[in-house]
Amino acid sequence: MKICLLFLTCALISEADKISRTLLEKKLIVCAKRFPISSSFLWKGKIDKASEVLLIMDSIEENFDKIKKEIGKIHSYKTFVLFSSPVGQTTNKVKEWMKRELKV
């Protein structure tokens, strides 16, 4: 079990909530936190900006492909940005919680 943090930008709070709920119901993540953000980015050769919602989700690397597939069914962006970052250390209680909830 390799714990990771997933980062995903969404267009709206309702979209972030729907994605979070779906992934939690399918036991692919154990927690999702959402934050309103202001993004600046390159798109089709130009600088653009948008108000978005950032989801930070707690999961395991082994679930990444399933998570990506579920997000692809829901997300409004054709090119959604999903990043995974490994977690080097955490507490034993967090590990136990994740194992129990994700049925690892």
In the chain, where the domains are located: 3-102
pLDDT score, position 104: 77
Characterise 22 by phi-psi region: left (phi > 0), alpha (psi -120 to 50), beta (else): alpha
Alpha-carbon span 77 to 60, nearest angstrom? 24
Higher pLDDT, 103 or 81: 81
Mean pLDDT computed over 5-31 = 98
What is this structure's pTM? 0.94
pLDDT score, position 103: 79
Mean pLDDT computed over 97-102 = 96
Amino acid found at 78: K
Q: Which CATH architecture has domain 3-102?
A: 2-Layer Sandwich (3.30)
pLDDT score, position 39: 96
